[in-house]
Amino acid sequence: MTDLSHDALCLVGLCATDGVGPATVARLRAAARVDGVPLARVLELPLQRLESEIGLTAATAATVASLPDAAAAGRGALEWAAGAGYRVCIATAADYPTRLGACLGESAPAVLFVAGDLSLLGGPCVAVVGSRRPSPTAAEAARGLARRQAAAGFTVVSGAARGIDRIAHAAAVQAGGTALVPAVGVARFRWPAPGQARGQPGGWCVVGQFPPNAPWRAAQALMRNRTVAALSDAVVAFEPRDCGGTWHTSNTALALGRPLFVVSGSRHDAKGRGLSRLVRLGAIALDPGRMPDAEELAQLTAQYRPPRSAAQLGLFDGQEP
């Protein structure tokens, strides 16, 4: 993407700057729309006005004000992406994931750093997420589910974390397709088995939503979880505790109205203690010894009815300033 307008380059440069989160980008873009001026004009505001008029914190305003040339930063991000095997996809691009924009609206990532075959996200997708330390039963169930879904033409979406996420990615890339959504900037992202994934042409994609050099942060992990749920037609969560990443992804799926299926490795497994709570909130429990095939899961997804209170469950406070 080299034919971007000056304003689009400014947007890319802004989104490539560590310390500038999606809420900040949204505020700046909203100010530009209200005032009827280019984004570049808003970025030129002095520090005090960024705080008083835009509502940025002192630290974030200082970061924005320190950008000498956002468009130049955008061009630099494009050059870096091309050299690193990534490309930039802005929210107005034709290949921007439709589900993401439709589900999250103005809070969807304005810029993505992507690699691989992004068209995988245009077809049916299922998220497979879960414990970082899964039981053997849960690990085998997740592996089989991901393999069957991918073989049937579904893209398996997950967060590339240790445990269930990586098990699902590895199984899916061998059988069909998978989308990795890291919680760090893509420049810091290292695939667990890059040779394996890159050896499958068209069978994978990486979707980065943070500045390329952004380190892991708790707020980013929450935003990543939301993106995983938004990109998917349904979410299957293995061994959810009553806290942590899997719990947050599960609650976010319910809040977004995504069908949520939960799996416990054992009725007596402490890792699965969040399962009963999620079922009460509207999730459907699956038997790890009898996981559905792709057709059965599609039927369960079509029959799923979100809880009436789903809209009130939203955990959308994970946006960093």
In angstroms, rounded to a whole number, what is the distance separating the alpha carbons of residues 104 and 119? 19
Q: Average pLDDT, stretch 294-302?
A: 95
**In this structure, are residues 230 and 103 in contact, taking their beta carbons and an 8 Å threshold?**
yes
- pLDDT tens, residue by residue, 171-225: 999 899 999 999 999 999 987 554 445 555 559 999 999 999 999 999 999 999 9
The pTM score is: 0.91
* Cα dist from 170 to 52, 125, 163, 194, 200, whole Å: 48, 16, 11, 10, 11
**In this structure, are residues 163 and 140 in contact, taking their beta carbons and an 8 Å threshold?**
no
The confidence score (pLDDT) of residue 94 equals 94
In angstroms, rounded to a whole number, what is the distance separating the alpha carbons of residues 298 and 310? 21
* Cα dist from 273 to 74, 197, 268, 269, 307, whole Å: 46, 33, 8, 7, 20
Q: Average pLDDT, stretch 40-65?
A: 94
The confidence score (pLDDT) of residue 230 equals 98
Residue in 137, 129, 102, 113 with CA at minimum distance from that of residue 246? 129
Q: What is the mean pLDDT of the chain?
A: 89
- pLDDT tens, residue by residue, 89-122: 999 999 999 999 999 998 899 999 999 999 999 9
Domain boundaries, the chain: 6-88, 117-313
- pLDDT tens, residue by residue, 125-139: 999 999 999 999 999
The confidence score (pLDDT) of residue 41 equals 95
The confidence score (pLDDT) of residue 315 equals 42
pLDDT at 320 over 80: no
Q: Average pLDDT, stretch 76-83?
A: 96
In angstroms, rounded to a whole number, what is the distance separating the alpha carbons of residues 89 and 177? 20
CATH topology of domain 117-313: Rossmann fold (3.40.50)
Do you know the residue count of the chain?
Answer: 321
Phi-psi map region of 223: left, alpha, beta (phi>0 left; psi -120 to 50 alpha): alpha
Higher pLDDT, 59 or 194: 59
In angstroms, rounded to a whole number, what is the distance separating the alpha carbons of residues 68 and 95? 30
The confidence score (pLDDT) of residue 88 equals 98
